[in-house]
Amino acid sequence: MELGSVVQFLENRNILVTGATGFLAKIFVEKILRVQPNVKKLYLLLRAADEKSALQRFHNEAIAKDLFRVLREKLGGNLNSLISEKVTLVPGDITCENLGVKDPNLEEEMWREVDVVVNLAATTNFDERYDVSFQLNTMGAKNVLIFSKKCANIKLLLHAGLILEKPYYMGETLNGVSGLNLDTEKKILEERLSELRAEEATDKEITLAMKDLGIQRARKYGWPNTYVFTKAMGEMLLGQIKGNIPLVVLRPTIVTSTYKEPFPGWVEGIRTIDSLAVGYGKGRLTCFLGDPDSIIDVVSILETHFSFTVVIVDSVQFDR
C-alpha cells in the first residue's frame, strides 16, 4: 500500500491512542502530526491526576524530546497551535473502568467521535510485579475493548500484542499444561498480596514476592517471563469477549530505532536487543553464544508504525 493512500485515509479521523507517552505511541503520534496535520482529532490517554498534569507530562515525555525536532523545525511556533487544535489529552488509566476518564463530557465526546482505537499501553518489563503486569497487560486490554464497544462509530480496535507466539485462546498454554484460568490467576495474586500485607511485609519485600510469583505462574504454563504471559492472557480475554467489534492484534518482532523518519537512529533508552550492542561496544560483553547462520528478526519502529496504519486502512476499507 502506498503512503499517499494511508495519509489520505487518516484525514478527518478521530483516533484514541492509549499509553500516549510510551515509545511506540509517541512515535505514532509524531508521524501522524507530521504527515497528516488534517487528522481531525488525536485523543491521547495517559496517566495523570488532571489535565494540567497530563499536559506537563506530555510535554516533558513527548514534545520536548528530540523525536519532535523535525516537526518543530518544520512548524516553528505553529507546532503548539497544531497540538492545541488536533490533540486532546485524556488523563486516565487503562486499569480502571471506562479507562479512568473522570470528565463525563470528554467521555461522552469520545464515545460519540472516536472511530479508531489504538491500544499501545502496557508494561514491557519482563520481570514486572505480577499484580502490576496483570492489571495493565491483561485486565487493561479488557478495559480498552469494553470502552471501544461504547464508541458509536468504532471502525477498528488495533491492539499491539508484542508477543511472537501464534494466537492463543482462553485456557491454552505454551507447554500444554491444563488449568490456566484468569479468575484463578487473579485470585492467586490477590491472596498473596493479602498474605504479605498481613505479615506487614515492606514495600521491597512485596515487590520481590510479586515478581517471583509472576515468573512462577508464567513458567508453570510455559511462558518465559511475566510480560509475555500477561500479554497472552490479555489476548485471550480480547478473543473471548470481542463480540462484533472489528479487532486486529498486531505483533511486531524486535522493535529498534527509527530508520529514516523523522531522522535515522532515534531510540529511547536501551531497549530489547540494544543491550547487546551497548554491552559489546563497552567491552562488557565479549562473547555471546548463538548460531552464526541464524536470522535476527528485528524491525525499525518506522516500519512498525507503517504496518499499524496499513492495518487500520485495510481493516476499515474491508469492513465497508
Q: Which of 41, 74, 231, 259 is catalytic?
A: 231
Q: Quick one: fold of 3-319?
A: Rossmann fold (3.40.50)
Q: pLDDT (tens digit, 9 = 90+) per residue, 87-119?
A: 999 999 999 999 999 999 999 999 999 999 999
CB 16, CB 25: distance < 8 Å = no
**Where are any strands of DSSP class E within the chain?**
14-18, 41-46, 87-91, 116-119, 156-160, 247-250, 254-256, 298-300
Annotated domain spans of the chain:
3-319
Q: Which residue numbers in the chain have pLDDT < 50?
A: 320
The active-site residue out of 52, 142, 227, 242 is 227
CA distances from 8 to 119, 127, 222 (A): 22, 41, 44
* 3-class secondary structure, 62: helix
Q: Is 227 a catalytic residue?
A: yes
Residue 150 is among the residues annotated as catalytic for this protein? no
Residue 43, pLDDT score: 98
Q: Rounded to an integer, what distance in angstroms lies between the CA atom of residue 168 and that of residue 176?
A: 12
Torsion of CA 198, 200, 201, 207, to 10 degrees: 60
- Using CA atoms, how far residue 68 sits from 13, 301, 305, 318, in Å, is 22, 15, 16, 33
CA dist 59 and 54 (Å) reads: 9
Residue type, 70: V
